[in-house]
Structures are given as C-alpha cells and as structure tokens.
Amino acid sequence: MNPTPQTLLDKLWQSHLIDRSEDGECLIYVDRHLVYEVTSPQAFEGLRLAGRRAWRPETVIAVADHNVPTTRAERGSIDAISDPLSRAQVRQLAINCEEFGLTLHGLGRREQGIIHVVGPEQGATLPGMSVVAGDSHTSTHGAFAALAFGVGTSDVEHVLATQCLLLRPMRRMRVQVNGALSTGVSAKDLVLHLIARLGTAGATGHAIEFAGSAIRALGMEGRMTLCNMAIEAGARVGLVGVDQTTIDYLRDRPLAPRGAQWDAAVAAWRSLVSDEGAVFDRELVFAAAEVRPMVTWGTSPEMVVDIDGCVPDPERESDPVRRAAMNAALDYMNLQPGTRMRDVRIDKVFIGSCTNARIEDLRAAAAVVRGRRVAPGVIQALVVPGSGLVKAQAEAEGLHRIFTDAGLQWREPGCSMCLGMNDDRLSPGERCASTSNRNFEGRQGPGGRSHLLSPALAAAAAIAGRLARVDELPAPVTRAMEAA
C-alpha cells in the first residue's frame, strides 16, 4: 500500500513531534536556537533563578544585531556604544553566552551580523531542521525546508532549558507562482504582491509553502526574502522545498556536514519536498508575469501598489473598518488620495535588514547607482550589509566604492534603520524608501514615514529623490564620459 502523500510541513512536523495531547497541542523538538540581545536577557535570568543550564548549548548561536551601531567609530568595543541601553544589552549578551557556554558572533567578530543572515551563511540552518528565535522573522530560514518560526521571551527560556516547545498544528497553504518574473521584478516585489492579494491576516494560522517555476528560478537570497515576509501575510512559517539550488548554497558552509556525512545528508534532504498529490488546506496560484515593482503607501504592508500606481481613495472602500484604517494611514503618511507614487518625495533611503541585506540585494542596488549620484534633497542614504561576511564579499567585488562614489553611506553590519532601536532612525515627519519588512507607525523612528520596496527601487529613489522606476533615471556617467 502506498503511503498517504505528505506536504513538506507534514514531514517536518512529524519528524520533530515528541508528543501530542488530547486537545491537539504538540510537543516539538528544537534543533537550532538563534539568540540575540533584545529578547534573551529575561530568558537567561529565568535560567539563573531556576538553577538551570542550557540543555544543549552546542545548538545555540547568538549574535548582537538589533542594538548595535553601524558606524565604525562605535564598533571598537562594547564600551564605545554611546546609547546606554544598547550598550547594556550587548554587554549582557556576551556575559550570558560566556556563562552558559554558547557560541556568540559578537562585535569585533567577522561573522557578526543580523541573525537571519548569519544563520544560513554559517550553515547553522539546514534542511529538515526545526529552528526558533525570539523574532518573528525567523520564518526566513524556512527557505531551506526548515520548520522555522519566532517565539516569545518565555519560550526562549523554555527552549534553552528543555530543547522542546509546545505548539498548535498549523494549516497548510501553498502559493504557486508560475512562469518567469519580468525584468526588474524581484522576490521583494513578489512577496509584496502576495500580501496585497492576501492581506496581512490572509494566511493567519497557516504555514505557506512557496512553489512553482518562478520560485525555483530564485536564488536562496530571494527565497529567504519570500519566507521572511510570509509573516507579513499573517503566516507563522514560510517554506520552500529542497532542490539543487538549496544544496549548492549549503555546500562547504562552516557548519554544514562534510565528506560522507554530506553525501548522506544530501540524499535525505532531497526528500524534503511536498509529495505529488499532497493535500493543502488552501492553495493560491498566479502567474509571475502579473507581478510589477511594488511600493507601500500606508502603514501596513498590505497597503501597497505598483510603482506606477496612485495612492488609493478610502471613499471607494466599502468596508468601514478598512476605510477608517486607510484614512488613518493617509493622515499619518501625509498623503492625498490620487497622488502618483512616483511623485512622492523621499528624505532618506535605507538598504538593509534581514529581508534585503544579502549580497544579491547589494548587487541589485549597486547596479542602479553605478555612475549616478544621490539627489541633493536626500538627507541620508544608508547601505547596511547583513553580516561581516556579506560586507567583505561586497568590498571584494567593489560594491562599497560604487555606493560611496554615488554618495551613499557604507555602514557596518546590523539591523540598523529597520526598526530604529539604534542610532539609525527617522526623525518625525521624515519619509524613507526602505528595503525592510514593516512600515508600521514609528517603526523606523517616532513620526517616521516608511515606504517598503525592493533594493533596486530604493536605489532608484536615492538617485531621483523620490519614488521612481529604474528605467526613468538619467543615464549613468561612465569614466570615459567624465574624462571627456
């Protein structure tokens, strides 16, 4: 008898299920625990008070990312961090990791960076794993066919102490994108398009598996962007099945298997796809050609249109709750219905975050700014690589010089302006073209106004001084033209 076809989620769930109670609550084993300085202090203090140690310290990797400054002057030591709260949290993480025997990629380490960039590039995230962190964008790691999700502070303590977690089963959702993305359309545009269709609560209670020829054509960086922002569609988990792209990315990573163990692992990983005939609770299918370069206009990722679109009119919205939310967003963003997105002026630009700070993202942005200059009206344009290794690779490729020659600032790795928990933030009323994942009120600084978009469109905004298409920018100036 043939076994019942299983989805990728089914396979991952069953392989980590320890026990299930009569009411359906499940005890799940955790393979990899990622820790950072903001949500972990209370967890470690809880262990101390209970007299407990970390159950499997070798499975834990820690970084300092949310609070760290991105200017070189404050990177020499923890004591050089000017903000006292940030300094205290970064210092306490180092103390906690030393006491509990955990691996820390802290300031001064070449591997330091954003936890959701560091984990995959170290090979700490592998297919078939369960991965948790005290951050909702842990879903990023699902791009490797891993069961990855964010947890709260009390759960961080529980996983440190027991390597297990209580969880309710999720429903299965497949998003199939067929065909090829148009030139200039990225994974960021694809996920914003999806959020526009589903809304920020459309996938609540689900794990989204991304499938189809358009997904298979993406590199791992693009797949991580999709899974990262599955959260913004309401999902708890984002997933992509294993293929040769997955395997090629992981080959020779520091924590990946070697030799015969690598061969055995690859053979097992190839089964981490949904079986033919597997049943999903919900399916959504659309053509990649439908997706255009996207930009948000409001204070939620679902408030998004394509770059050639206009700010919508709330009076055309029949739902009174949605209409009220649209009016509130327009008031906060200081925008009028009918305004062309390409007429919206920009004060600052941020290229970075766990969504778009990998080498592929930096290459896309550099291709736009090469031979051009940041517009005079742009106060600040930041490029913040996702890790020290991404920074080193970008510098080896000369990308940093392209950015600085164009007038953008090349910074040290960290979360930076994504969430305004460090010195990189917006002032009240400032408007930012941002490659991050959330545009909530005050997300990038109190009173700041955020427009989410791809690295290429963010770079275009820096050059134009407004939201812009790449193809409408003035021609770049080559060295030969400068010499003439």
pLDDT at 3: 84
Residues 205, 326: one domain? no
Question: Letter for the amino acid at 469?
Answer: R
Say if residue 482's pLDDT is above 70: no
Output DSSP code: residue 453: -
Report whether 136 contacts 150 (CB < 8 A): yes
On whether residue 47 sits in a domain, the answer given is yes
Check which CATH number belongs to the domain holding 450 and give it. 3.30.499.10
Q: Do 328 and 203 reside in the same domain of the chain? A: no
pLDDT-derived band at 82 (thresholds 50, 70, 90) equals confident
Residue 252 located in a structural domain? no
Residues 181 and 202 in one domain: yes
Residue 256 lies in a domain: no
Residues 298 and 189 both lie in one domain: no
pLDDT in tens, 330-339: 999 999 999 9
Q: How sure is the predictor about 421, in pLDDT bands with cuts at 50, 70 and 90?
A: confident
Domain identity same for 281 and 417: no
Across 326-351, average pLDDT: 98
400 contacts 366 by C-beta, under 8 angstroms: no
Tell me, yes or no, whether 250 lies in a domain.
no
Domain shared by 151 and 186, yes or no: no
Question: Do residues 452 and 382 share a domain?
Answer: yes
> pLDDT per residue over 350-395, tens digit each?
999 999 999 999 999 999 999 999 999 999 999 999 999 999 999 9
Cβ(144)–Cβ(116) under 8 Å? no
- The answer to pTM > 0.85 is yes
Predicted local distance difference test score (pLDDT) of residue 280: 98
Do residue 219 and residue 149 come from a single domain? Answer: no
At 238, list the tokens: 């984002």
pLDDT band at 77, cuts 50/70/90? confident
* Element housing 27 (H / E): strand 26-29
Count of domains observed in the chain: 3
Domain boundary among 134, 167, 200: 167
206-211/103-105 β-pairing: unpaired
Do 29 and 153 have their domain in common?
yes
Domain for residue 377, yes or no? yes
Q: Is the pLDDT of residue 480 over 60?
A: no
Is position 335 within any domain?
yes
259, part of any domain: no
pLDDT in tens, 116-145: 999 999 999 999 999 999 999 999 999 999
pLDDT (tens digit per residue) in 237-295: 999 999 999 999 999 999 999 999 999 999 999 999 999 999 999 999 999 999 999 99
Collapsing DSSP to helix, strand or coil, 333 comes out as helix
Residue ranges making up the domain that contains 333: 294-481
Final residue in a domain of this structure, among 106, 138, 167: 167
**C-alpha span between 264 and 126 (Å, rounded):** 13
Answer whether 362's CB lies under 8 Å from 455's CB: yes
Query: 124 and 76: one domain?
Result: yes
Q: In this structure, are 134 and 176 located in the same domain? A: no
Mean pLDDT confidence for 205-224: 98
- Tokens 């055995």 correspond to 264
* The pLDDT of residue 479: 60
- Cα(482)–Cα(484) distance, integer angstroms: 5
Domain at 225, CATH number: 3.40.1060.10
Q: Tell me if 226 is assigned to some domain.
A: yes
Among residues 256, 290, 324, which one ends one of the domains?
A: 290
> Are 317 and 286 within one domain?
no
Average pLDDT value over all residues in the chain: 96
| pLDDT at residue 429, rounded to an integer | 97
